[in-house]
Structure 1
Amino acid sequence: MIRRLLALAVLLWVLGFLWFAVALPQPAPASRTDAIVVPTGSGGRIQRGLALLRDDAAPHLLVSGVAEEVRPAEFAAEYNVPAATMRCCVTLGFAALDTRGNALETAQWVEEQRVRSLRLVTTDWHMRRAALELGATLPADVVVVQDAVRSEPSLFTLFLEYHKLLAAWVVSLGKG
């Protein structure tokens, strides 16, 4: 009996990992939202968020989890963001240290800004966990569009992120 349960658990883990690795989230189709949220991390996220802002996909952008030592002028220079855009449309969030922190920082910003819809921009391998954590912190009536940035993750990255997703899922079950 124990062997069968163990074999079933291993089979479920393998099938889950295969699904996770093969069916990575994709970029979202063009649509307009109240805001764009980009958790810092892998390359391409911030560039994608800024491109969406330039393309008028949303009037505001939150970059969550920015290192404390980064100044807005440095950010603007690094990503070639005009000063007027930084003043009106870009918020740098310095409170988050991890994905859960990104979700908490985003939820507070969403409440302050009265955002009803947002586009979450993060790497394809990170999207499921980021969306899970964000969904646990946002009011149910806030619409989240998942916009994955394509990448070529290593097997190690996929393995690690799959286990982080499982852990976040278990934690969310405990809260629900």
Structure 2
Amino acid sequence: MSGERRLRKRRFGVVPAIVLAALLLAAVDFVLFANRAAGADHSPDVNADAIVALTGGSGLRIAAGVELATEGRGRRLLISGVNPDVPVEDLIALAGGSEEVWACCVDIGYVAETTRGNADETAVWAYEQGYKSLIIVTSDYHMPRSLIVLETAMPDIELIAWPVRTVNDPASIWTDPDSFRGVVLEWAKWRVTTFE
């Protein structure tokens, strides 16, 4: 075998090894991400100037935000990213809470369609109100990327994570295909965001 053919064969052996190593690193990174999300928690006695619930997936995020507002954890609640076609009555039916709380303390944002849109919508609202601290309510697996994007939009506002377990459960990625798909998609978006 000529030296050139040996070199070509060796080069072709290196490429699969690099690809395999990259896939292994990605798999480990994903598992660590899912484990962190599955273990995410919040302090039970958290308070802030206001609360922001990011919509998506199910009404569980909104319900958690309404509960925090009902408990007086913040002066107002912004529900960011609501579809303009969804009436307030449907939100109340979905998330619960008293009509008094909805009437006095809930603002609904209809502009955001993405996490970046949530950040922009939240920043406008928070700066207009003069808030210095916000409790951020979203799914546990969505929280890491949300905080990065929100902190970029509001670097001088304290953001306090309130992760919620929703439909896609990072603790069930090996037993629930829907959770696996949802969490791996969010992991990929988070990883892209960290490199931006």
TM-score range normalised by the length of the shorter chain: 0.7 to 0.9
Distance 1:116 1:34 in 2: 7
Q: Is 1:163–2:182 an aligned residue pair?
A: no
Higher-Rg structure is: 2
1:123 equivalent in structure 2 = 139
Q: Is 1:36–2:51 an aligned residue pair?
A: yes
Q: Is 1:21–2:37 an aligned residue pair?
A: no
Q: What percent of counterpart residues are identical?
A: 33
Q: Is the 8 A contact 1:120 1:146 kept in 2?
A: yes
Q: SS at 1:133's partner residue?
A: helix
Q: Is the 8 A contact 2:69 2:76 kept in 1?
A: yes
Q: Which segments of 5 or more consecutive residues in structure 2 lack a partner in the other structure?
A: 1-10, 171-178
Distance 2:29 2:90 in 1: 41
Q: Is the 8 A contact 1:38 1:64 kept in 2?
A: yes
1:40 counterpart letter in structure 2: T
Q: Is the 8 A contact 1:26 1:150 kept in 2?
A: no
Q: SS at 1:131's partner residue?
A: helix
Q: Which runs of 4+ in 1 moved over 4 A?
A: 1-8
Coordinate RMSD, CA, aligned: 2.0
The size of the alignment, in residue pairs, is: 170
2:22 equivalent in structure 1 = 9
Residue-by-residue CA offset, 1:38-67 (whole Å, 9 max, x unaligned): 110123101100111111111100000001
Matches within 5 A, 1:11-160: 11-24=24-37, 26-29=40-43, 30-43=45-58, 44-138=60-154, 140-151=155-166, 152-153=169-170, 154-160=179-185
CA 1:160–1:32: 2 relative to 1, 3 Å: same
